[in-house]
Chain A
């Protein structure tokens, strides 16, 4: 292939990646994909790619001498495959993904990422380094109380308590309020009185995220709330053993639709 045309095709592939990254950053949608640490790195990468692609596009016709001994047949620009195939492989998946993405996982993938899984102590070990030690005094000092007397908790703290006997002892029977997304309860729900509340925890990017769920017990038919919508739930926290494993069950006193928080997912820090 003509070297100039090859350079142009390569530049287009690089510029497409740059445009995609910069669009997601600029539109704010990047928050659904990466933890805060990685967002400026993605921006720098997008800008760097734009510079690389534009520079090579502008200088595509310019003669350049690498300065090496060319008595042997080395080539600084010949790729592994046909440039058109390279362009296709680099652009098609990213273009399709941009068209298909809804910035969130479907229910089936959420299930795969732990939405309905039982919490094991080993599952919460990764939280031990992130969360401060929980004592009754610490809880009362560090958690706000709502006007009707519920302590505001993050779902992460409740999830952590499910795998930690000591914290369970402190939280069991406590009146708390928390927020998350609400979905129907799939298992162990013969009377249809249960729902499930969850948020996602992201380590680096959304592909490595996992669900942080608890069970909601309404005691009667649950109120109509938008499925997978954000809700604030207040009630009494319990840790019963069901089917051989401990569960965090919140006996609901009130449930209301809530605003989507600025950061939907829990981040590493």
Chain B
């Protein structure tokens, strides 16, 4: 095709620097303000450091300790469990809503779209305040409604309940994330060719069929972006836990980022925190790489 033919031709004669020029400005920012500090973090993970006093080299001691650290391992497990609430549920909900919102004769489409996005727009502090209120066992709307419906036995101390806290927090995560996924998908839907839908309708296809066989394949790249970013969000979650349960009750909702924060800012173990960061990033890298390769494979087979 033309583009590659042209650049291909250029490549034969001289090294093509055009792509690098396009990427350079972005890369520069990234390199200075993210990559360099990250490399420093990697270096810190081999030290014992409070963040403001002298560093003490300890080799891989931090990592050895990490492997046996119950808090870290529990946190990691929770991160993985959160994937259900950060990724799968929001994406499914967003797909359904995308299909519904794309109908031609829908009244109030814009109102709905704005409202669905509201949950993502709010700063986490606000989300925490809102949901702590919703889950409040004494005067929150959830329990108040349950009690008025005669289901008082179901009125639990949600965020403080050992069996339910995790799910309660998970639901908040889904509530926040689906608006984000929806926005991504709606952007992608714009790009789908109308004629594909017409062809399907001519064949008598109903909504479900259109959703499964036209919409979803058409927004594959947006779905993959959503998949990767929500996966990462599940593994990186911090704000949400910080403003709701801070890891409690007990360690039911502890996550790796929270443990990182505690080590870096409260216990003054920056070196150890750095080790947590490195392991966390490595895991995220592995999963994302796997996900991206799979979706890239699908894309190229397009």
The answer to whether A binds B is: no
